[in-house]
Amino acid sequence: HRTGSKQAGELAVRLLAHGECASKRSKAVLDKLAVEFDTKQDMMKFTLCDMLSSVLLVLPQTPDHTDASVGHIANGLRDILTSKLDSSQRGAAFNLSAVLCQVCHGMEWAIGSADRHNCPGTFLQVLVNLASIEIQLLLQSKKEEGKTLEEL
């Protein structure tokens, strides 16, 4: 199922990237996917992570950190990253976070993203803490395999 969704997402991205109205269509699709990503609470959320990453990378005009779609994506990412998931499931969320950093030219989108208690900046703390833990786990597993840092 995930492979079919990924192929459909890739096709949609290719179709969005071409044509006279690419910018308008891409923005509409981004807005729709972002709202879906914010509201879905099932495995589709992980498929949407991949699709959003692809769409964001081909947008003719990149959104800024105040764009409503970026807010929806940040909310969806917060849902994923504050849930009890294994590292393979968090990988798509980390990838989407990296893409947002790239297209929004920095971390403003994460800093301005308030949590449920309206405390801005907490999402950035969660993101940094989880990334740190993932890196520590990766380094520990490589150490147990007998690999050095240079071999990573």
Residue 107: strand, helix, or coil: coil
Which tens digits make up the pLDDT trace of 114-144?
555 456 667 788 888 888 888 888 888 878 8
**Tokens 């179709």 — which residue?**
15
Amino acid at 140: Q
Q: What is the mean pLDDT of the chain?
A: 77
The predicted model scores a pTM of 0.74
Neighbours of 25 (CB within 10 A): 17
Amino acid at 119: C
Which value, in Å, is the radius of gyration of the alpha carbons in the chain?
A: 16
**From its phi and psi, is residue 106 left (phi > 0), alpha (psi between -120 and 50) or beta?**
left
Per-residue confidence (pLDDT) for residue 1, from 0 to 100:
46
Q: What is the mean pLDDT of residues 42-67?
A: 80
More confidently predicted of 8 and 40: 40
Q: Is residue 60 scored above 60 in pLDDT? A: yes
What is the spatial distance between Cα 150 and Cα 152, in angstroms, rounded to a whole number? Answer: 5
The dihedral over CA atoms of 78, 124, 128, 62, expressed in degrees to the nearest 10, equals: 80
Whether the CB-CB separation of 77 and 104 falls below 8 Å is answered with no
Per-residue confidence (pLDDT) for residue 143, from 0 to 100:
80
Neighbours of 104 (CB within 10 A): 20
Q: Is residue 36 scored above 90 in pLDDT? A: yes
Which of 13-17, 33-37, 85-89, 105-109 is predicted least confidently?
13-17
Neighbours of 15 (CB within 10 A): 13
Q: Is the dihedral of CA 12, 47, 152, 102 positive or negative?
A: positive
